[in-house]
Structure 1
């Protein structure tokens, strides 16, 4: 089944909820970047949380999440928008460690905890909204929870998880975000806290074949759930040959001539999707003529 996300309300509007399966999407990221298991888990958790936050946006709005924890994986950078499109990469994709004391991939060790989680939202205004919080866990689910509470003042619970096969491919990936709306009753809050304390890891639920709807039913209860919308999720990169051409043109005729004289060609690689774009000497000369 293709990846998708659901938006829902719970307990007569007291709760706003999102859940998503992202196995194919994170699998695409893993193949493009050849991430090793611990890096796959870190990137997959970040991309899953970001695509759910993207679903909170409208129209052409988009957001970028940057996670820099000082760990060996380096920075994680993820883009998403209101249409379920997401892309991301890690600085050091071939990062892997032995399992932690809980028998899980050691994302905390890879990411580190000495740094920041930064969210930049482009909502169509001249100035972008930027929110930033210190990393408190390095496991990322807790860090996104902390961000939503402290930067956006929305009490939330973020659950994200990734399981990796022995051949490094992605077995299961997904997540949920549960948010309290103003005026949520204490009884409702207590029931949800109890559910979250007892729920199995989100990646295990997806491995078992549960859909996003069924995951939210497990947390909120089927009788308390109202599905508002479903949305496909996929790895989509905005890079293109035209964009790279424009970037080369922006260098100016003198810089393009220098590339021709020095290398005789140019090659650019997109960080987000690893796609390579090659420009021959003749193509560079055409770009040079455009600038003159």
Structure 2
């Protein structure tokens, strides 16, 4: 099964729902960054949430998620858009701890319990929309749940999960977001709460082979769900040699001449995908010519 996301309504439109499988997407991030299990879980959960929030956008809209806690993992930065594309990195990818008291990866210890979760949305307007809330648990899902309630005033339930193989590769990853629209009745809320309290961890359901649609059926009841559409998702980086070249040109002639004199060239490194781009003396000299043309 390839990674994809499903959008749905439930209970006659009073509930909005998203569910996604991100096993391959998180696996690509793990491969590129060499993350250890606890770091993989933290980054994977954050990327899974970001790709679902991106699915709430339209057209060319995009967003950046920043998880900046006081734990040893350091800040995490994730970009996503309305097309199901997501990329992300963690400052200290080789972070890992023993399992916590529940026998799960200790994401809270890695992320920290103090700091901020920030979401910056680029909606194609002159100003960006920025929402920020304090980190409330460090477990990521609870932090996004709090973000929706406090920053966007939308009561939500966010479930995120990542399972890691003994060789550090990703066994299963995915998640869901359930949002209550204004006027949702108490009976509907009670049904959802009961289902959430009884369900197994989302990563375990992904491991068992449940599709994103089936995740929503488990939470909301198949008879209550109206599926809207699906969208493929994946790790995608928009970096390129030309893009980095433009950044080098913006540094100015003096800085570029220093690169030539001191290093005999230049190397650019993308934090998101770990690709490296090398620039020869001749290429740097052509940048100077472009500046002076």
TM bucket normalised to smaller: over 0.9
> The residue matched to 1:42 in structure 2 has which SS?
helix
Equivalent runs, 1:133-282 vs 2, <5 Å: 133-282=133-282
Shift of 1:284: 1.0
Deviations 1:132-151 (A, max 9, x none): 00000000000000000110
Displaced runs of 4+ in structure 1, greater than 3 A?
none
Shift of 1:285: 1.2
2-structure distance, mates of 1:19, 1:48: 9
Of the structure 1 ranges 72-81 and 249-258, higher mean CA displacement relative to structure 2 is found in 249-258
> The residue matched to 1:116 in structure 2 has which SS?
strand
TM-score (norm 2): 0.99
2-structure distance, mates of 1:14, 1:218: 18
2-structure distance, mates of 1:288, 1:258: 12
Preserved contact between residue 119 and residue 131 of structure 1 (Cα < 8 Å): yes
1-structure distance, mates of 2:285, 2:125: 38
1:119: which partner in 2? 119
2-structure distance, mates of 1:60, 1:282: 36
The total of aligned residue pairs comes to 292
1-structure distance, mates of 2:233, 2:100: 30
Equivalent runs, 1:49-88 vs 2, <5 Å: 49-88=49-88
> The residue matched to 1:226 in structure 2 has which SS?
strand
2:108: which partner in 1? 108
> The residue matched to 2:239 in structure 1 has which SS?
coil
Shift of 1:227: 0.4
Deviations 1:109-140 (A, max 9, x none): 00001100001000011110000000000000
1-structure distance, mates of 2:194, 2:176: 16
TM-score (norm 1): 0.99
Give ranges in structure 2 of 5+ residues lacking alignment.
none
2:8: which partner in 1? 8
2-structure distance, mates of 1:241, 1:268: 8
Shift of 1:194: 0.5
Preserved contact between residue 133 and residue 147 of structure 1 (Cα < 8 Å): yes
Deviations 1:217-237 (A, max 9, x none): 000111000100100000001
Shift of 1:255: 1.0
> The residue matched to 2:6 in structure 1 has which SS?
strand
> The residue matched to 1:57 in structure 2 has which SS?
coil
2-structure distance, mates of 1:179, 1:42: 23
> The residue matched to 2:174 in structure 1 has which SS?
strand
Q: Please provide the CA RMSD for this pair.
A: 0.5
Deviations 1:45-97 (A, max 9, x none): 00000000000001111110001111000001000000000000000000000
Shift of 1:270: 0.3
Shift of 1:108: 0.2
2-structure distance, mates of 1:284, 1:258: 10
2-structure distance, mates of 1:114, 1:10: 35
2-structure distance, mates of 1:255, 1:69: 34
